[in-house]
Structure 1
Amino acid sequence: MKNRRYLYLVIFAIHILISLVAFKDFRIDPQNFAFSNVEDGLKNTFTLLSYVKEPVSHDGIFKYNAMNYPFGEYVFYTDNTPLFSICFKWFCHHIYDLSDYTFEIFQTTLILGIILSGLLCFYIFRKLFRDDRFAFLLAVFLPWINMQVMRIWRGHFNLSYSFLILLAIAFSIMWYERREHLRKRIWVLAASVLLGYCAFFIHGYYLPIVTGFQAAILLIYGLYNRKTKDGKQSLVASVALPVITVGFTLATLLAFDKFYAFRKDQNGGYGWDEIKVHFGALVTSQDFYTIPFPLRSMKWNSDAETLAFLGNCGLFAALFMLLLILFRKAERSRFKTIQKEFFNDPLKASLFWAGLMMFSISIGETYNTDGSDGFMVYNLFNPFLYLHWFTNRVQQFRCLGRLAWPFFFSFYVWVIYTLIAMTKHYTIKQKWTVLIAFAFFGGMEIKDYVDKFQSVHKDNVLSKKNAPDFKPLKLDYSKYQAFVPIPYYTVGSEVGDFVLDDYGPVSLFSFQFQMHSKLPMMACKLSRTVPEQSHMLLTLFANDSLLPELKSKLQPKPVLVCYDKTAAADLSLGVVPGENRAVARDYYLKINQFPQRNKLNAIDSFGNIVFYEWYPKL
């Protein structure tokens, strides 16, 4: 026991040291450092900072009012890690105001997530293998090389928490260990429900990823032991876990989200190849790898949503064993025996098959062998295929590639168990050779990720230091009810006609200006926005038509129009809707003429931005 605690401390210390090197710039200047400051990274940073800073409105702490004025939005749809942002905002407003350090504290949680994953890896693999050496190495390597890590520099910060998947595995092991104690199992099930519930409010995709994965483990484990009391309890739990978790989650949304009934029940893009995993992705390493795996796919290999690399240390271990069984008859026989032992073990087999089921979901309900030119294979092993018969809400999880993440850890359960068993008869020297080779490949991967993190330094463009100097503006913000940036953007409704993408410099200015002026903006870049709200705002600015519901929510105060004259005049911008989106294009072009059409007079300017004052006709 003491030796095990010592190893936990060593693992903790190693991850601290790696973090100090990998995140050197963050350590030196945390307030002005950002892992990502463009696109989703910038938006997620803004929604976090603006939500924590804004006062709690009469609509309650769950309401977010910095965007989509006058409707606002609920924090669950802001991608600002609601579990963190809600708790932190409450703390800042009721206990002690740390809101000036919001982003530094949040980015620290990303690093702590890696460290926690390391401790959980050691707990899990030591339980499964009873081999401290490999468990130790996996605890060092896997938290840095798993499929979720790259989400940090891609700006999908809250999707990097791999410890949530590892907790699902840990709870499954606890369920197995308490098979003789029903009361203790109920506590494990309760903890699993709490895990899934909290995970959803970190990011919605964790509901199918974490709860779906653990439910699959319980289901398969129950099928292995279906004739025993242990198995029957597991089968019941495999149904109870997702039903209770989804029930609590849905009840929370229905209780606090007053717009819930008006949201779409499905998303566009479900089933697109660009957001599914393809088999080749499993062996396609990142472009920054020093030692690439000798096999890679040349298609779908550059985007975070399609990358699903299993890691060099595991793949080279698999390659080593493949060569053994190809060229040595005795090893071939030993391999077959080991696989029988592995798949006859209900716990280990369940962890593997459940991960494979999640991978099956990630490749979609159909699999195209060569895009539109190849065969379409219907994936009968995908549970979403059958859920789709009853509800379209499965389409809310259109980025199916994310559901492959549990398979990363399931793969290592299988490959390392097999490697340990295959080398059990080796001499001490041979075992150390295998261990050192495994450590070499894993160590090189960590080195590559550390180098990558050191190269992705970004300035926090929303910090006070990097914000524009708005002091020359002679505007009295208190007289305005809101501001609207033009070119206008509204993202999140998932209705093509009502979506206008944001132009980077315009959205950056609007984020910075909102944090300076504290005025809510009438633009929107969120998730699952109510389509009719987007429609009403587009109609207002494109057609000068103030619909009754919108009119009732506006105040008898002017709106500040922030008009980027350079961007509005440039029709070559990538965000300008094409001819194939005629309705959206018409909205975009008409809104760009809003100041001229309404004969507004300029009241101030800031670089390319011209400010106008507009009075809605209430």
Structure 2
Amino acid sequence: MRSPRLNSTLSGLLVFLAAGLLFSLYFKGLMWEPNLHAPTFGGDGLTIHYNLQYHTTYGEGVYLESQYFPHHESIFMTDAQALVAVVMAGLKPVFPDIGQYATGISNTLIFWSSPLAVLFLFFIFRRMGVRWPLAFLFGCVIAMMSPQILRQLGGQYTLGFTFLLPMVAWYQLAYEKGKRYWLKSLAVTLMIILIGLNNPYLYAVASALLMGAAGVGILFKITGLVRLPWNQLLQWVAVCLVATFAIAATLAAFDQVEDRVEVPFGFFHNIAAWGGMLTDANTFSYDFLRRVLPDLDTPRRENQMYLGLIPVLLGLALPFILLLPKARKIVGLTQVPTLLVLLVGTLPCLILGFGLPFVYFEDWTYDNLGSLLQFRAPVRFSWPLFYLLAIVAGYVLHQLYEHWSGTKKVWLLAIPLLIWGIDAHQFLAGHTTGKAGPSAFTPTSIQEKSDLADELRIDTSSFSCIYLLPTEQGWSDKIHQDGSWRSNHDGYKLSIATGLPLLNGKLSRVGLNRVLRSLQVVSHSLIEKPALGELPAGKDILLLASNENELDPHEARLLGTGKPLFSNEKVELRRVSPAALLARTQDARKVARQDTSALATPLLRIPFEENTQHAFFGQGAEKVAPGWTTFPLPALQDSTLTDSLELSLWVFADKSRFGGPKFYLRQLDSEGKRISELKFWTNETFDTQNGWLRVAFSFKPDPLLSKLELVGQYEFPYFIDELWLRNARTNVRLAGKNGTLIYNNYIIKEAG
């Protein structure tokens, strides 16, 4: 019996509402009480919601001012729900309290996109002649297993618009001659631009699907395999080109950062993996497949892109089906040639998802791909394969059902659909269980911070900004100081409650210079702190320190300079004057310049003057080759073996590559055996001066020590300068050319 016919508008509304009810069983309060819940209570999601709510409440235009005060960053280059934040900030004159609902609006857009994805998938199946009950069921199980859901739940909200790729696939399948397809092209172009400005990744993935399918379609047309209309193929290309131009022009117009790390971390790390595509730890098939395929790699966070058991099995059978004329006729893929083109068109996307062919040419890739490497998770380009393979699987099951008769066809459909449904339920339930917690930024929680701020007289008239401790200069690809959950959680809320921006922070694609200047606030007192001179005169810095975390001595010294305002078991608040911090630094440098007891030379000094491309002190530095390098150190004199020693050197903060070298200081005995080893990663330093990062080891020589060994390791070339070994209790000052002075391996007087 044929299923009853439904009005397209009514059926679409029913599908959307039914899918919304289904997903709300898993997402719970995220859909029905979106302003009170969040899928993550920390990490990326907390920072993204903070940036969104701060900009909505206090910002305007396209520049985000919540972090690294007094600088700002193009919001389109951040993960702050860029376009959503800009639009909501623009609505403040009409809705003054809209900032209180920023998290709820974000959650609504993100988590209600899954029912919208079901709707587009439903339209796709209906267009291909699939009965509407099956079209709905297929749409649900596919949307429930979307790899983008993992990004929603992981706090990368702007990647969570799950309807975009089904919408693009529907557009590609819905070709018809005449004006209506041009209107569809225009609408899809506009949607890709809007969502692409919110997160350029989704533009890139959607464009990959468009261009991959267009390329395959043109190739098939030339070879005569499948003849899609030129108008259809060229419109796909046009949509991609127009969206590319609009997004690239917008990003370039507002981006003011000139010293961003050129090659960020992740391009060869966040790639597709068969283990992530064929298995998911929450599903019933996981253990079995792991036993059958023991060499499968374990899915990590980014490369989890489970295709589903039924799509994988049908995908494996598909080449054989297409080679057998009778089977090919039964499944009827030739009746929907565009679907076949789209499926094959995802293969270039999959190849890129595996990082191919670039994984075989890493150095060339780093040297030549430039800003394209800002797309640091190629695995996301594999997402189109998930959708298209699942759509083909659903269509094939429908065709088999239509071909067979009697109870055979019922079982032929019911068993795979049951397995698929169980797979989808276990996947979504496993990943959503325990995820929906209270939002950190509800009006009630922000009001609590407002009351505390009022009680302590913390406002923008007396304070300029907040500095979080432990300090955070995260996501910069060069400095790895991620703060703590407590300082983030309470600091972000206090920032929203008061309007005070952060002096430090976590921003994607931030400029390296402003990160280093922010870090200098906690650097050694001999290091100048120009960021403090940029702050408004007469206003203090509010220090917010987590009492749940141990502070580094650098951070503790900064906190100790402040005047206590408030303290409990969670956080401590103090105020400090930028002018007082600057005066403290100038006094320390003056004392160092006048220190008459300072020695003229350390126990060991290697000035490294060979390469004049960069220099910390003097005329040059040493360029170190990639890999493991052992730096020869002379044997220590017996007189130094009882002293506390410091070995220090400087590493250039090179913005051409992510990360930095790791150093290992080893104490060796007379036979060359290792007694002890200390490790220092330059990205975790607290001392930065003139664009260089200080590496320092403080240690007590072991009685059996015969020789020190310093080893450096980094996958790229790097520059080092001024290696010193000195008695930790003895000050050393050296004079350089043009009046420069260096004291305990800190520059205390610049040239001239």
Instruction: Note the C-alpha offset of 1:114.
Output: 0.9
Residue identity in the other structure for 2:221: N
The answer on 1:305 being equivalent to 2:302 is: yes
Uncovered stretches (5+) of structure 2, i.e. residues with no partner: 584-752
Residue identity in the other structure for 2:25: V
* Contact 2:458/2:498 (8 A) holds in 1: no
Q: How does 1:481-492 map to 2 (within 5 A)?
A: 481-492=464-475
Q: 2:434 aligns with which of 455, 460, 476?
A: 455
The answer on 1:247 being equivalent to 2:242 is: no
CA distance in 2, matches of 1:8, 1:32: 29
Deviations 1:496-549 (A, max 9, x none): 2x3322222221121122123321111111210011111222234314555668
Match of 1:614 in 2: 577
Deviations 1:70-113 (A, max 9, x none): 11322223312222222122223335643322222321222320
The answer on 1:196 being equivalent to 2:192 is: yes
* Contact 1:116/1:163 (8 A) holds in 2: yes
Residue identity in the other structure for 1:354: G
Greater helix percent: which structure? 1
Q: Which is worse superposed, 446-455 or 196-205?
A: 446-455
Match of 1:43 in 2: 47
Instruction: Note the C-alpha offset of 1:556.
Output: 3.9
Q: How does 1:10-49 map to 2 (within 5 A)?
A: 10-26=14-30, 30-49=34-53
Match of 1:393 in 2: 371
Instruction: Note the C-alpha offset of 1:221.
Output: 1.6
The answer on 1:177 being equivalent to 2:176 is: yes
Q: 2:500 aligns with which of 519, 535, 557?
A: 519
Match of 1:278 in 2: 273
Q: 1:349 aligns with which of 340, 361, 382?
A: 340
* Contact 2:472/2:505 (8 A) holds in 1: yes
* Gap change, CA 1:199 and 1:245, over 3 Å in 2: same
CA distance in 2, matches of 1:342, 1:452: 34
Uncovered stretches (5+) of structure 1, i.e. residues with no partner: 368-376, 572-588
Query: Which has the higher relative contact order, 1 or 2, with Cα contacts under 8 A spaced 6 or more apart?
Result: 1
Q: How does 1:457-536 map to 2 (within 5 A)?
A: 457-466=436-445, 471=452, 474-477=456-459, 478-494=461-477, 496=478, 498-536=479-517
The answer on 1:405 being equivalent to 2:383 is: yes
Deviations 1:361-420 (A, max 9, x none): 1111359xxxxxxxxx749xxxx9999885322211111121111111111233334444
* Contact 1:365/1:385 (8 A) holds in 2: no
Instruction: Note the C-alpha offset of 1:566.
Output: 5.6
Instruction: Note the C-alpha offset of 1:338.
Output: 6.2
Match of 2:289 in 1: 295
* Gap change, CA 1:437 and 1:612, over 3 Å in 2: same
* Contact 2:165/2:384 (8 A) holds in 1: yes
CA distance in 1, matches of 2:531, 2:297: 45
What SS class does the counterpart of residue 481 from structure 1 fall into?
strand
Match of 2:564 in 1: 602
Instruction: Note the C-alpha offset of 1:474.
Output: 2.5
The answer on 1:113 being equivalent to 2:113 is: yes
CA distance in 2, matches of 1:139, 1:51: 36
* Contact 1:223/1:235 (8 A) holds in 2: no
Match of 1:370 in 2: none
The TM-score, its normalising length taken from structure 2, stands at 0.68
CA distance in 2, matches of 1:397, 1:264: 13
* Contact 2:210/2:237 (8 A) holds in 1: no
CA distance in 1, matches of 2:431, 2:275: 23
Match of 2:710 in 1: none
What SS class does the counterpart of residue 452 from structure 2 fall into?
coil
Instruction: Note the C-alpha offset of 1:25.
Output: 3.7
CA distance in 1, matches of 2:524, 2:388: 55
Instruction: Note the C-alpha offset of 1:289.
Output: 2.8
Q: How does 1:308-457 map to 2 (within 5 A)?
A: 308-315=305-312, 334-335=326-327, 342=333, 346-365=337-356, 378=360, 391-422=369-400, 424-448=402-426, 449-450=428-429, 452-453=431-432, 455-457=434-436
Instruction: Note the C-alpha offset of 1:134.
Output: 3.5
What SS class does the counterpart of residue 198 from structure 2 fall into?
coil
CA distance in 2, matches of 1:130, 1:118: 14
Q: 2:544 aligns with which of 550, 557, 562?
A: 562
The TM-score, its normalising length taken from structure 1, stands at 0.81
Q: Which is worse superposed, 434-443 or 541-550?
A: 541-550
Match of 2:712 in 1: none
CA distance in 2, matches of 1:171, 1:336: 25
* Contact 2:130/2:395 (8 A) holds in 1: no
CA distance in 2, matches of 1:219, 1:386: 25
CA distance in 2, matches of 1:485, 1:523: 7
* Gap change, CA 1:566 and 1:593, over 3 Å in 2: farther
CA distance in 2, matches of 1:194, 1:493: 31
Instruction: Note the C-alpha offset of 1:37.
Output: 1.1
CA distance in 2, matches of 1:193, 1:593: 54
What SS class does the counterpart of residue 411 from structure 2 fall into?
helix
Q: Which is worse superposed, 89-98 or 133-142?
A: 89-98
CA distance in 2, matches of 1:457, 1:232: 47
* Contact 1:199/1:210 (8 A) holds in 2: no
The answer on 1:208 being equivalent to 2:204 is: yes
Instruction: Note the C-alpha offset of 1:594.
Output: 2.3
CA distance in 1, matches of 2:28, 2:411: 33
CA distance in 2, matches of 1:197, 1:44: 21
CA distance in 2, matches of 1:594, 1:269: 33
Match of 1:137 in 2: 137
CA distance in 2, matches of 1:147, 1:491: 26
The answer on 1:54 being equivalent to 2:58 is: yes
Deviations 1:132-189 (A, max 9, x none): 4542321222111221122222212222212111111122123x323xx4x5554444
Match of 1:541 in 2: 522
Residue identity in the other structure for 2:44: D
CA distance in 1, matches of 2:75, 2:484: 23
Residue identity in the other structure for 1:50: Y
What SS class does the counterpart of residue 542 from structure 2 fall into?
strand
* Gap change, CA 1:614 and 1:64, over 3 Å in 2: same
* Contact 2:209/2:349 (8 A) holds in 1: yes
What SS class does the counterpart of residue 442 from structure 1 fall into?
helix
Greater strand percent: which structure? 2
Instruction: Note the C-alpha offset of 1:230.
Output: 6.3
Residue identity in the other structure for 2:271: K
CA distance in 2, matches of 1:24, 1:308: 23
Structure of greater Rg:
2
* Contact 2:400/2:409 (8 A) holds in 1: no
CA distance in 2, matches of 1:123, 1:566: 52
* Contact 1:218/1:237 (8 A) holds in 2: no
Q: Which is worse superposed, 518-527 or 414-423?
A: 414-423
What SS class does the counterpart of residue 66 from structure 1 fall into?
coil
* Contact 2:278/2:312 (8 A) holds in 1: yes
CA distance in 2, matches of 1:289, 1:104: 31
Equivalent pairs counted in the alignment come to 565
Deviations 1:429-451 (A, max 9, x none): 21111222233123324433247
* Contact 1:31/1:460 (8 A) holds in 2: yes
* Gap change, CA 1:65 and 1:543, over 3 Å in 2: same
Instruction: Note the C-alpha offset of 1:222.
Output: 2.3
* Contact 1:226/1:232 (8 A) holds in 2: no
Q: How does 1:219-238 map to 2 (within 5 A)?
A: 219-226=215-222, 232-233=230-231, 236-237=234-235
What SS class does the counterpart of residue 560 from structure 1 fall into?
strand
* Contact 1:213/1:354 (8 A) holds in 2: yes
Instruction: Note the C-alpha offset of 1:332.
Output: 6.0
